[in-house]
Amino acid sequence: MRDLAQTFLDARRTTEQLAACLSEEDQLVQAMPLASPTKWHRAHTTWFFEEFVLSPAGFAPYDPRFAYIFNSYYDLVGERVSREKRGLLSRPSAREIAEYRRTVDEQVLPVLERDHLVQRQGVARLVELGINHEEQHQELILTDILAAFFENPTQPAYRPGAAPASRAPAPELSWHTFDGGLVETGMPSDGFAFDNERPRHRVYLRPYSLASRPITVGEVKAFIAERGYHTPSLWLADGYAVARAQAWEAPQYARTSGGVYEAFSLRGWRSPRDDEPASHLSFWEADAVARFLDARLPTEAEWEHAAANADPSAGNFVDGELVPRPGPGTGLGQLFGDVWEWTRSSHEPYPGYRPPDGAIGEYNGKFMAQQMVLRGGSCLTPRGHLRPSYRNFWHPDTRFQMSGARLARDP
């Protein structure tokens, strides 16, 4: 269990490093109900290990009140603070949460060293789930503080300074055609995966073509210039209703003024290059831009089939510049990193899916309706966190995530 223990410590350390540049006041802010304060993320991921690893092993809770404060959505565990009120939790302080994290870490490590206990109770699987869960929250720390800093009148940068400029223009878009047929999709039975990635099953795909890179800023600028936000024929009805009701004129955190396109990022306001992947698009916007470009969004099965042989650790991830970057070469690129890519598929259970027993079964199972699947990770995702079968999901009007899209066509 030594490797797992080191992976556990590395993940816990990374979370603290992401929060280190934030003040206690920064860590309390909640920009909107869908976001959470940084210190809540730090505490919730700690409570996860305490609730699902330490409690079954006989450990007393650090503070019995924390189960109410830091439970996210596990109804089988008990009542909890309403999501939209997490920003009111001035106590416990960020410093107290740091002590909470240290204490739980010190308790988890000896449990991992008891090999017989690990084997008998499946603790290793729960710790591995907790590590991957924490990595998800590392990305949320960044997307949520971006939302908070955008609302701040001073609009501070999480990481000040301009991102290094790319040296050469990205290659022109090309199309890669796949024959389709009867293909396997989903994660095999061995190796870690979230429950919504299984069981592996067969899907029939018609021949399809996939774009060599994600939709770019330049293509979104053209959509704006051609009044795409005001052209109902490009939109699904529900999406157009939301776009008009919320007065969308550009992606989230973007603005056009005097012909200049700017976007707010973790590096502050910047002028992205036209060949950078477009970010902070909702599903509705991604679908409309795809129609504008005489294409469509891929299904998640098409995306996974195309990405089956790609390296999920190769790309622009959180250890980079924290902004999307133009593609580095030719071929089918940027499948992992830069921006999450909306698909045309709703988040539904795979054939034969059964959620795990107990509260862990609430992790994904109860969210398999009214949400759309995204694939591939982003420039805020931890490197090594992803797989071709990885399924992210958000409601179609979500814009504050690092989300973009890739075009597909029927050949």
Domain 2-151 fold: Four Helix Bundle (Hemerythrin (Met), subunit A) (1.20.120)
- The pTM assigned to this predicted structure is 0.96
For the segment 305-314, the average pLDDT, to the nearest whole number, is: 97
CATH architecture of 175-409: Alpha-Beta Complex (3.90)
Grade residue 277 by pLDDT with cuts at 50, 70 and 90: very high
117 pLDDT exceeds 70? Answer: no
Q: What is the reported pLDDT for 258?
A: 82
311 pLDDT exceeds 80? Answer: yes
For the segment 153-173, the average pLDDT, to the nearest whole number, is: 85
Helix (H) or strand (E) holding 220: helix 217-225
116 pLDDT exceeds 80? Answer: no
Helix (H) or strand (E) holding 359: none
Rounded to whole angstroms, the Cα distance separating 382 from 14 reads: 9
Q: What percent of the chain has pLDDT over 70?
A: 97
For the segment 193-213, the average pLDDT, to the nearest whole number, is: 98
Q: How many CA atoms lie within 13 A of 136 on its CB side?
A: 15
Domains 2-151 and 175-409 in one fold: no
Q: What is the reported pLDDT for 275?
A: 96
Q: What is the reported pLDDT for 120?
A: 58
Mean pLDDT across the chain: 95
Grade residue 167 by pLDDT with cuts at 50, 70 and 90: low
User: What residues does 109 pair with on adjacent strands?
Assistant: none
State pLDDT tens for residues 343-398.
999 999 999 999 999 999 999 999 999 999 999 999 999 999 999 999 999 999 99
Interacting residues of 277 by C-beta distance below 8 A, sequence separation 6+: 213, 214, 215, 216, 217, 324, 325, 326, 334, 338, 339, 404
State pLDDT tens for residues 26-65.
999 999 999 999 999 999 999 999 999 999 989 999 999 9
DSSP character at residue 53:
I
Regarding predicted confidence, which is higher, 163 or 99?
A: 99
For the segment 312-341, the average pLDDT, to the nearest whole number, is: 95
Q: What is the DSSP string of 108-173?
A: HHHHHH-HHHHHHHTHHHHHHHHHHHHHHHHHHHHHHHHHHHHHSTT---SS-SPPPPPSSPPPPP
Q: What percent of the chain has pLDDT over 90?
A: 90
Grade residue 118 by pLDDT with cuts at 50, 70 and 90: low
Domains of the chain: which residue ranges?
2-151, 175-409
For the segment 82-110, the average pLDDT, to the nearest whole number, is: 97
Using an 8 Å Cβ cutoff, are 276 and 219 in contact? no
Plot region of 51 (φ>0 → left; ψ -120 to 50 → alpha; else → beta): alpha
The closest alpha carbon to 341, from 385, 294, 388, belongs to: 388
